[in-house]
Amino acid sequence: MRIAIGIEYDGTAYNGWQRQRTGLGVQECLEQALGEVADEPVAVTCAGRTDTGVHATGQVAHFDTAAGRSVRGWLLGANTNLPEDICVTWVKPVDDDFHARFSATARRYRYRILNRLVRSALYRHRAWWVYQALDHRRMHDAAQALLGEHDFSAFRAAGCQASNAVREVTDISVVRDGDWVVLDVTANAFLQHMVRNIAGTLVAIGSGEEDVAWAERVLDGRDRTRAAMAAPPHGLTLVQVFYPDTFGIPVPFELGQ
């Protein structure tokens, strides 16, 4: 039987999603918790690996098991065995042709910036504090140059192992809500550090350090060294993974700020 699950986690304490030789990954905690419920080893495959310090409200994964448990049993049993900063939000039996990664049609990430003079005690692990005034309208206008299918080499990590850098961004926006500046990006797939590099470049534009057209010039240059520094990981959250309606995958419970 194949089971799909939704996962929410605070990535502060983890070396990213993936099981690690050294350090602790979210995957390891999840597999141990599900294994306790199944009374057998469980291997989990996720929709998109997140890096150290990155969070998720809408991560999706699947696993195969011979254990007969109810949806309620999987949900409550897994959460009983998980640390407080990881939670399974839903459980759904799926057909064997469902794959958390390869069946996904798009992913949505959100990057949060706290833009005020003083830092936050409560959001220090959940947002990038930028004290310089940011013009979110300039950031939004600059971001529109990234819409569509492009070679995003300028926004990939030096160690990115993707075979090519072509990705399609279907939606990108920057909005302000009081002291919060929020970047939302939806694409068919992402390169390593892609959203963080985009966020860093847009902040340079929002602060007036660079002009609005700079984002397009960086994109066209396909040279990572021409872009701004990567934004820190703790402002980034995977908020949704999209699938064909035929799979019946639930929409994440929480998409708000």
Residues annotated catalytic, as ranges: 51
> What percent of the chain is predicted at pLDDT more than 90?
91
257 is a domain residue: no
User: Are the CB atoms for 58 and 48 separated by under 8 Å?
Assistant: no
- Whether residue 94 sits in one domain with residue 213: no
Torsions phi, psi for 43 (to 5 deg) = -110, 125
Which run of H or of E encompasses 203?
A: helix 194-206
Task: Return the SS3 of 156.
Answer: coil
Q: Has residue 202 been placed in a domain?
A: yes
Report the SS3 class of residue 229: coil
Mean pLDDT value across the chain: 95
Listed in order, strand segments (DSSP E) in 115-250 are 128-129, 148-151, 166-177, 180-187, 236-242
Residues 55 and 119 reside in one and the same domain: no
Q: Give the SS3 label for residue 241.
A: strand
The yes-or-no verdict on residue 158 having pLDDT over 70 is yes
pLDDT higher than threshold 60 for residue 135: yes
DSSP character for 257?
-
- What is the span of the domain harbouring residue 41? 2-103
Nearest C-alpha neighbor of 236 from the set 41, 17, 30 = 17
pLDDT at 255 over 70: no
**Mean pLDDT for the stretch of residues 9-25:** 90
Q: Which of 60, 64, 59 is nearest to 96 (CA)?
A: 64
Mean per-residue pLDDT for 123-152? 97
Q: What confidence tier does 159 reach under pLDDT thresholds 50, 70, 90?
A: confident
Query: Last residue of a domain, which of 76, 103, 130?
Result: 103
**Which residue, 103, 127, 156, sits at the end of a domain?**
103
How many Å from the N-terminal Cα to the C-terminal Cα in the chain? 35
CATH number for the domain spanning 227: value is 3.30.70.660
> Based on the domain organization, do 69 and 169 belong to the same domain?
no
Return all residues near 232 (Cβ < 8 A) that are at least 6 apart: 53, 128, 196
pTM to 2 decimals?
0.94
CATH number at residue 59: 3.30.70.580
Neighbours of 204 (CB within 10 A): 20
Tokens for 73, please give them: 């049993």
Residue 252 lies in a domain: no
Same domain, 201 and 91: no
pLDDT of residue 88 exceeding 80, the answer is yes
Residues 98 and 159 placed together within one structural domain of the fold? no
Domain membership flag for residue 229: yes
DSSP 8-state class, residue 72: H
Count of the separate structural domains present in the chain: 2
Domain membership of residue 243 (yes or no) is: no
Tokens of 208: 């007036």
Q: CA angle, corner 29, sides to 11 and 52, nearest 5?
A: 25
Q: Which of 197, 203, 206, 179 is nearest to 236 (CA)?
A: 197
| Whether residue 98 is found in the same domain as residue 116 | no
Among 61-75, 98-112, 210-224, 241-255, which is the least confidently predicted range?
Answer: 241-255
Q: Is residue 251 part of a domain?
A: no
135 and 177 in a single domain? The answer is yes
Confidence of residue 22 (pLDDT cuts 50, 70, 90): confident
Residue 23 pLDDT greater than 90, yes or no: no
Q: What is the pLDDT of residue 160?
A: 87
Would residue 256 count as lying in a domain?
no
The pLDDT value given to residue 253: 67
Residues 6+ apart with CB under 8 A from 88: 5, 6, 7, 30, 74, 75, 78, 79, 82
Q: What integer is the mean pLDDT of 163-191?
A: 97
| pLDDT for residue 257 is more than 50 | no
For residue 87, is pLDDT > 60? yes
Residue 249 lies in a domain: no
Instruction: Please name every residue paired with 90 in a beta bridge, in sequence order, or none if there are none.
Output: 6
pLDDT number for residue 256: 44
As a whole number of angstroms, the distance between CA 10 and CA 72 comes to: 23
pLDDT digits (tens, 9 = 90+) for 46-81: 999 999 999 999 999 999 999 989 999 999 999 999
